[in-house]
A and B are shown apart, each in its own frame.
Chain A
Amino acid sequence: MVRERYFQQLDLLKKCVLSFGELAELIFRDSMSSVIDLDISLAEKTLALEFEADKLEGRIEASVFDLLALQQPMASDLRLVVSTLKISADLRRVVGLSMNIAKIPGRMEGGHVKPLIDTGKMANIVAFMLENSLRAFETQDAQLAREVAARDEEVDKLFYAVWVELIEMMAKDTSIISRATNLLFLIRYLERIADHCCNICESVVYLVTAKKVTLN
């Protein structure tokens, strides 16, 4: 290999994105657990991790700019560099939305207005999507990326079902509006995170095939 240092930089960039992905997964899972169990101490621990995410995002951006300015990557290398920048932005949004989720337990005095069954299902699908969109990136598997993105439809259906249910509950009992609204926000955040997973899947398909696709 003639460009040893360059290939190491590319490899490092990829690893950095995967680390960011692992951190985003951890933050997402813990933020969901903190809401389901209304565990304020776990929520606070999760909120403290935002700073780590910013650091990783900054490292990825710096590395991308260095590679573009100093190495002029071409062909699949160029697609990798561009994709990592986009995936990193999506992961940062996943972290941001998870932060919003982790803020909910602090506002939920009086407990949940209903058991979080469908919301739990949504969270499980979203966790699957996040994990596997990153695996698709790691293994450059466009087929897996497409399969992962296809699950967004289930998330959207559950979102709508829970939405309607909560609105009906609030219409019947106005005393729960504040707590129910927090749940509305929660399912909205979940639905948005699923969309960002779809974006990651689109970046993977682009990375592998050089084709721009819309998957959600």
Chain B
Amino acid sequence: MTEAVQNVSQSQIEVENLNLWYGEKQALKNISMQISKNSVTALIGPSGCGKSTFIRCLNRMNDLIKNCRIEGRVLIEGKDIYGPDVDAVDLRKNVGMVFQKPNPFPMSIYDNIAYGPRIHGANKKDLDGIVEQALRSAAIWEETSDRLKSPALSLSGGQQQRLCIARTLAVKPRIILFDEPTSALDPISTSRIEELIMNLKKDYTIVIVTHNMQQAARISDYTGFFLMGELIEFGQTRQIFHNPQERSTEDYITGRFG
């Protein structure tokens, strides 16, 4: 806990007065948040509250949506990612993302992992090492080392998700965004991914959107509660789940909504 508190001073992501509209509809309202390095930050809130929209602002995934307009600043390591000289592809290399449904490419396990490094110009002779390292870091090496040429789609759902995490790690990002990474997985696969996320924070900064409140409580250092496009409360996870300061946070996490 003390370590996490000290890390507040080393913000890796700083969001300042972020507003976002889909056409006329405002989806994010004046969000400011500082996310510290080597921490896990969980974002919770009911469907449609803006948490996924928010996380997608952190690697400019919303650029791809028509009629989406953004105001405010998102600084990553001090640099505004919406600045004119920022290349979105480079940004997404540094800020990786893992989605709700595992989405391996329809190719071999090996090629899934090698895909990113190849695009970014990795040397062919380094590829074997990069693939092994990524699979090891995503805790799936043991299960795949003897079948690297098999189709990735032959893996189970939980394995596919770890493969997708390995694929993200292979391009050496500094931040990883998880958008409900376990909502399609069984409890054992979920535990594996949770354990993995907690281990990954040694080397990465992690932001995770989850509908599973116990998951947020288990794995995160900080929790943000979103409601109707606003960040209602943001603080240490222990505080949020033990003694939230805002009534609506309390109502949400104890199931008193609606």
Contact = CB atoms under 8 A, between A and B. Distances in A.
A and B pair up: yes
Given A72-B214, A76-B250, A3 B255 contact: yes
A74 B258 contact: no
B254 A73 contact: yes
Contacts of B241: 74-75, 78
Interface string A36-77: 000000000000000000000000000000000000111111
B6 interface: no
A117 interface: no
Contact of A75 (B214, B254, B257, B258): B254
A116 to B, nearest CB: 45
A74 B254 contact: yes
A75 B255 contact: no
A171 to B, nearest CB: 54
Contacts of A72: 214
A12 interface: no
Interface in A1-57: 1-3, 6-7
Contact of B242 (A1, A6, A78): A78
A1 B254 CA distance: 11
Contacts of A78: 241-242
B196 interface: no
B258 A2 contact: yes
Contacts of B256: 1-3, 7
Interface in A195-210: 210
A3 B251 CA distance: 11
Contact of B258 (A1, A76, A77): A1
A74 B256 CA distance: 11
Interface in A76-96: 76-79
Contacts of B213: 74
Interface string B183-220: 00000000000000000000000000000011001000
A2 B255 contact: yes
B243 interface: yes
A183 B243 CA distance: 45
B253 interface: yes
A113 to B, nearest CB: 52
Interface residues of A, number: 14
Interface string B224-258: 00000000000000000111100001100111111
Contacts of A1: 256, 258
A76 B254 contact: yes
Nearest to A71: B255
B44 to A, nearest CB: 11
Nearest to A1: B256
Contacts of A6: 255
Contacts of A73: 254
A210 B245 CA distance: 11
B243 A210 contact: yes
Contacts of B243: 75-76, 79, 210
Contacts of A74: 213, 217, 241, 253-254
Contact of B244 (A2, A3, A7, A75): A75
Contacts of A76: 243, 250, 254
Contacts of A2: 255-258
Nearest to A76: B250
Nearest to B244: A75
Contacts of B253: 74-75
A3 B255 CA distance: 6
A73 B213 CA distance: 11
Contacts of A79: 242-243
A203 to B, nearest CB: 15
A203 B242 CA distance: 15
25 contacts: A2-B256, A2-B258, A3-B256, A6-B255, A7-B256, A72-B214, A74-B213, A74-B241, A74-B253, A74-B254, A75-B241, A75-B242, A75-B243, A75-B244, A75-B249, A75-B250, A75-B253, A75-B254, A76-B243, A76-B250, A76-B254, A78-B241, A79-B242, A79-B243, A210-B242
Interface of B: 213-214, 217, 241-244, 249-250, 253-258
Across chains A and B, which 9 residue pairs bring their CB atoms closest together, nearest first? A210-B243, A3-B255, A74-B253, A77-B254, A75-B250, A2-B258, A74-B241, A74-B254, A75-B254
